[in-house]
Chains A and B, each alone.
Chain A
Amino acid sequence: MKLSLHGRVGAVALVGALALSLAACGSDDPLDTAASGAPGAGETTSGETSTLSGELDGAGASSQEKAMDAWRAGFQTSNPDVTVNYDPVGSSGGRQQFIDGGVDWAGSDSALKPEEIEAAAARCEAIDIPVYISPIAITFNLEGVTELKLAPATVAKIFRGDITSWDDAAIKADNPDVELPALTITPVHRADGSGTTKNFTDYLNKAAGDVWTDEGADDWPIQGGESGTGTSGLVQAVQAAQGTIGYADESAVPAELGKVSVKVGDAFVAPSAESAAAALAASPRDEERGEHDIAVKVDRTTTAAGAYPVILVSYAVACLTYDDQETADLVKGLLGYVVSEEGQAAAQTAAGSAPLPAELAADAKAAVDAISVG
């Protein structure tokens, strides 16, 4: 059954390829084109047709890995002849490989920097498409306490080591109903370079600039202190002792650890997919970039109701134009699925990410649709 279906698809592909190679000036290897499937595949991104075939290679942010597994599964189910590979080497590694032409697309926790776009120009016009939005939870280990309300300045002072005890007046003031022990606070940070650290420190810097003077960076700026490698290493370190506090992808925080609700405007907002989406909706796009290069400047100091500004926005980095039809169709198909409602829902289920807000999703879809062969 399956074999005969493959045979039919193959026949269609062959006819299409013949038509293509006759019509086009044929600078490409015709065999390559034959594998790309019937013409017109690029128009349908819904994933209903299974005319796509081939292999697609990506690399980059490990934060997207869980979501990428879901996307890959979803995309390959509707396109059984497609193989999608994603190597979670890290954001900067992924961007570098993309610029060097080693992968078809990259995942990255930050949009390409202007100099990287310039470097990538030798290959193609690179664009950023937001695909994965995740709230970063500030998590702590205090027996019997599941939620704490903290102002940004208090959080910054805790991680700076200026506030050293859980029964400090600044913490008590915002949490009158919580019984806080006279326990030493042990802040835990990421030992390795990470987009989570970058977004968290960027939040501290923007929202509590007079306490947290270091700009957002992949690496923790302070010497010493407890640390863990990777999200799981950090969570494990937080779990290891009472009185610890750390930061991690919201979906990675186990139920027995508490989460901080941060002060936004006059209210306190807990991390969740909805509050993350609200914060993103309140954030402007970087207008200096090209039409389809979508980079979001997350507004860490937003006062929008229900917005949780400690979020990580992760991007897919792709070419606006690809050299060959096959790759263009595949990238278009995959990213089209990723930014679709269906794809975002799959990521939410698998990785606890927040779905793209409607406006941004429309922009992202327009950017994906603009990908073409050049």
Chain B
Amino acid sequence: MTATTSPAPPGTEPGGLPDAERRTPRRRPRAQRVVERGASRVFRWTATGAGALILIVLAAVAVFLVLKAMPAMTASSDELVDGVSFMRGSSSLLDYVGPLVFGTVLAALLALLLAVPVSIAIALFISHYAPRRLAAGLGYVVDLLAAVPSVVFGLWGAIVLAPAVQPLWAWLGENLGWVPLFGGTVSPTGRVIATVAVVLAVMILPIITAVSREVFLQTPRLHEEAALALGATRWEMIRMTVLPFGRSGVVSAAMLGLGRALGETMAVLMIISQGFLYSFLLLAAGQQQTIAANIAAQFPEASDLGMSVLIATGLALFVITLVVNMSARAIVARRKDFSGAN
């Protein structure tokens, strides 16, 4: 809703207003402090506490990561290479974290690339094309998809999808091998990052679809009807009104999906043949690995210093996720006027 013009009814707490207006009511209760007592006061402090708690938890996680990663960050390269068995060919911590960050971002971006167009199409179908009853059912099914545990997606990816999709990868390698992405020896098992990306895409599909659908539904009716009245077809109407209106909402939906894809562990762990290279070969085995999956794989047999190295990679993931979320916020904030999501 374009809230800028709608005045809040007197006496009620106006929520979700732009900053300028939000600041005034915050000052007001302070002046009327006498009035606020009993349940109202309890509720106020409970809400404040809950709000503070999330910050405390976030800070605690950050502190934990930094503290535990310290030994690895301060250790000399020799200590690391001698003391941590899984650091193989790496010569320093950065040398070890780098390829993992690369693999994580690559897998997540590929997943996003696959998921976003499909999600937008599903969301548009639900919001503007499907008959109402079908739309409700379909929306429900999409939400259900979000409830499938990632281990199940991992099992499905490793046992069903990887062998099934391998012939397609082989065909790509054979016919489009000159494209750098599809070069190298195509894995005969299908346990490659391309398969991982497909599974991740399926996993982030529900969240992107759900948010996009909500945004599309909030397109002002007048805009849509105006477009139709000017003689636009339904597709033109969507292109002229729904998509521009929902753009920033879709972006933030995509960022939410990206966040989930970045941190996904089990599905990646169960599917990928890991490698530690800066490699764009999507169909070759043993090229990339993601941070989360690597932590899960190496954690059980890690020594003290090894644990610290793993936590340092976790810290890197934490930072990446934070940056992604903040940039999503920034994008949404910049286009606030049109945002249906916020």
Contact = CB atoms under 8 A, between A and B. Distances in A.
B166 interface: yes
Given A191-B274, A233-B270, A240-B162, A218 B301 contact: yes
B85 interface: yes
B143 to A, nearest CB: 30
A233 to B, nearest CB: 7
Interface residues of B, number: 32
A193 B302 contact: yes
Contacts of A218: 85-86, 301
Contacts of A194: 301
Contacts of A186: 187-189, 285
Nearest to B287: A224
B85 A217 contact: yes
B153 to A, nearest CB: 15
A221 B90 CA distance: 12
B163 A227 contact: no
Interface string A162-180: 0000000000000000000
Given A193-B85, A223-B275, A228-B273, A236 B159 contact: yes
Contacts of A90: 300-301
Could you say which interface size class chain A belongs to?
A: 20 to 34
Interface in A195-233: 217-219, 221, 223-229, 233
Given A218-B85, A223-B89, A227-B286, A96 B304 contact: yes
A295 interface: no
A224 B301 contact: no
Contact of B286 (A92, A192, A224): A224
Interface stretch (A241-249, A331-339, A347-355): A241-249
Interface in B298-324: 298, 300-304
By CB atoms of chain A within 10 A, which of B189, B274, B297, B303 has the most? B189
B191 interface: yes
B277 A240 contact: no
Contacts of A228: 191, 273
Contact of B191 (A184, A217, A226): A226
Given A240-B162, A240-B189, A241-B166, A225 B286 contact: yes
A318 to B, nearest CB: 21
A352 to B, nearest CB: 22
Given A226-B286, A243-B188, A219 B273 contact: no
A89 B300 CA distance: 5
B189 to A, nearest CB: 4
Contacts of B162: 240
A74 interface: no
28 contacts: A62-B300, A90-B301, A93-B300, A93-B301, A186-B187, A186-B188, A188-B273, A191-B274, A191-B297, A194-B301, A217-B85, A218-B85, A218-B86, A221-B88, A223-B89, A223-B276, A224-B277, A224-B285, A225-B285, A226-B285, A227-B274, A229-B270, A229-B297, A233-B158, A233-B270, A236-B158, A237-B189, A240-B191
Interface of B: 85-86, 88-89, 158-159, 162-163, 166, 187-191, 269-270, 273-277, 285-287, 296-298, 300-304
